[in-house]
Structures are given as C-alpha cells and as structure tokens.
C-alpha cells in the first residue's frame, strides 16, 4: 500500500502528515496460498479484502478477514504480509492468506509456502490450519 502524504494547509505553519503504513486493510489485493480450488482457479480480478475482523481496520498475521474471490465472499486468515513487523518475525514478499470457513476449518488441504512460527501460539484457534502447513519460518 502506497504511503499517502497529505499536507495541513489551514494553519500558518505547513506540516506534512503521512498516512500510517497499513498491513492488510480493505481493498488490498492478497495472494491465496493454499491449494483450494477457489484460490487457484484464474479469474479476471484478483482476490481483495473487503473487511477486517479487528477493532482497527488493519490486519496483521493471525487476523481474520473477509475476502471477495470470484464474486463470492469468503473468510480468510492472514499468514504473512509485506509490512515489516516486530524484529525476529519474518516479513514476506507478498500478502499471503489462507481460505477458511466460518468455524475455522481451512478449505484447502496443503500449504506449501512458509508460515511464521508465531501462529503456533494461538494453537487453539488455528490448529487445523497449522496441521496442513508444510514449512515453518
């Protein structure tokens, strides 16, 4: 997501106010990483986030989001984003997402791309997603 620079112009001193760098928010294009049919069949529009289930509208690793894929709404779990996080955590080159049902069951059967170890802390919610993951970083 591009940084937005706005400048405050109604006060005598000009101040440039940068928009905060967001990880995954509404209308970000994401990459589905599991081997589900819905995620891998090509479509003329990329899957986009339409809602983040969070108090702030910003999604980090381990947050649930609502995705619009192939004209359908589907929930998904964020497994990696391009924004740098806390030190010692991995930063991925693409915003990765795993498709999920409402109760937390993943739709795909295998996840080839590496998943951060920090998701293991919330083993209770994501145990099934972690079970199908192959590589951990």
Q: Contact residues for other proteins (CB under 8 A)?
A: 80, 84, 87-94, 96, 112-114, 117-121, 135-137
Task: Give CA 39 to chain center in angstroms.
Answer: 14
Minimum CB distance to other proteins smaller for 73 or for 91: 91
Q: Are 98 and 36 in contact (CB under 8 A)?
A: no
Our CB check for other proteins shows the closer of 13 and 88 to be 88
Token pair in block for residue 95 = 């915003």
Shortest approach of other proteins to residue 130 CB, angstroms? 10
In 3D space, the residue among 57, 55, 52 whose CA is nearest the CA of residue 77 turns out to be: 52
Q: Copy the structure tokens of residue 108.
A: 């795909």
Minimum CB distance to other proteins, residue 72 (Å): 25
Sign of the Cα torsion 3, 59, 112, 48 reads: negative
Give the DSSP H/E element, type plus range, for residue 49.
strand 48-52
- Closest CB to other proteins among residues 57, 84: 84
Closest CB to other proteins among 65 and 92?
92
State the nearest-atom distance from the C-beta of 71 to other proteins, in Å: 27
The distance of closest approach from Cβ of residue 65 to other proteins in the complex, given in angstroms and rounded to an integer, is 19
- Specify the residue, 73 or 110, whose C-beta has the smaller distance to other proteins: 110
**Least CB distance from residue 83 to other proteins, whole Å?**
12
Nearest-angstrom CA–CA distance, 4 and 18: 6
């Amino acid at each position: 997501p591009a940084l937005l620079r706005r400048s405050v112009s109604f006060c005598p001193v000009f101040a440039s106010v940068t928009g905060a760098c967001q990880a995954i928010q509404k209308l970000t294009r994401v990459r589905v990483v599991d081997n589900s049919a819905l995620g891998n069949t090509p479509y003329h529009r990329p899957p986009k986030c339409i809602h983040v289930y969070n108090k702030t509208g910003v999604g980090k690793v381990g947050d649930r989001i609502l995705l619009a894929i192939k004209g359908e709404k589907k929930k998904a779990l964020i497994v990696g984003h391009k924004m740098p996080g806390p030190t010692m955590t991995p930063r991925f080159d693409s915003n990765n997402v795993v498709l999920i049902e409402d109760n937390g069951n993943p739709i795909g059967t295998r996840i080839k791309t590496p998943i951060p170890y920090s998701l293991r802390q919330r083993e209770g919610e994501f145990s099934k997603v972690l079970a199908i993951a192959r590589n951990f970083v």
